[in-house]
């Protein structure tokens, strides 16, 4: 079994494609293997697994954590979603740039976005379940978000009127984040 890097974006975002063995009974694949991740230059110290379920039109994000810093390996296990990562690292040559890709239970892709990237997704199917491995433990005192439709970033979401949480509706812009002293914790 082999995991392979399908593509790289903004220098540090990596799309991973697992090898899938399929027959009349269904399929089998390895989604994480420390030795293969290490050989591909990916992290192997994941500290927390998360699993969310959302309905069509829900947009969650664009979230990040600075204390402790947190990278995420995301995949969709039911349905389809548009996964996004935005570089929010001071001093980065790709600061303020974003990458997005449709990931589904069918294509089985995974997206790695390291610490210093804000991440989010919107659901394209009736229901989607997203699972992600995190390199840090969640801390509500060290997390925040960037406004999903910040014009300075210009994410091209594949939906017009998303269903948002109150928190995501009131998120800060990238410029507000960069003006905050807390952004010094998230450097390139």
User: Catalytic pick from 32, 63, 138, 188?
Assistant: 63
At 1 the pLDDT is 72
At 91 the pLDDT is 95
At 60 the pLDDT is 98
User: Catalytic pick from 32, 132, 138, 188?
Assistant: 132
Tell me which long-range contacts 18-26 makes (C-beta under 8 A, separation of at least 24): 18/108, 18/110, 20/108
The residue written with tokens 């991973």 in the block is 16
CA dist 17 and 121 (Å) reads 19
Q: Taking residues 59-88, what's their average pLDDT?
A: 97
At 9 the pLDDT is 97
146's tokens: 């960037």
How does pLDDT run across 87-128, given as a tens digit for each residue?
999 999 999 999 999 999 999 999 999 999 999 999 999 999
Split into its structural domains, the chain has a count of: 1
Q: Which domain holds residue 65?
A: 3-185
Q: What is the pTM of this model?
A: 0.95
Active site residue 32: no
Active site residue 132: yes
Task: Provide the CATH number for the domain around residue 18.
Answer: 2.60.120.10
* Residue 132 contacts residue 49 (beta carbons within 8 Å): yes
């Amino acid at each position: 079994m082999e995991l392979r890097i399908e593509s790289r974006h903004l220098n540090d975002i990596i799309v991973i494609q697992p090898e899938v063995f399929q027959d009349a009974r269904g399929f089998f694949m390895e989604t994480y293997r420390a030795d293969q991740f290490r050989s591909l230059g990916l992290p192997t110290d994941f500290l927390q697994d998360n699993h969310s379920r959302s309905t069509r039109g829900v947009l969650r994000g664009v979230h990040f954590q600075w204390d402790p810093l947190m990278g995420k390996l995301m995949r969709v296990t039911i349905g389809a979603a548009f996964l996004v990562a935005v570089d929010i690292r001071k001093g980065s040559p790709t600061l303020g740039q974003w990458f997005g890709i449709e990931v589904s239970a069918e294509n089985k892709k995974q997206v790695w976005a390291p610490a210093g990237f804000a991440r989010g997704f919107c659901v394209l199917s009736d229901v989607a379940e997203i699972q992600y491995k995190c390199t840090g433990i969640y801390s509500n005192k060290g997390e925040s978000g960037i406004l999903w439709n910040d014009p300075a970033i210009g994410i091209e979401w594949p939906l017009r009127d998303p269903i948002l949480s109150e928190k995501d509706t009131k998120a800060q812009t990238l410029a507000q984040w960069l003006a905050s002293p807390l952004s010094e914790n998230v450097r390139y």
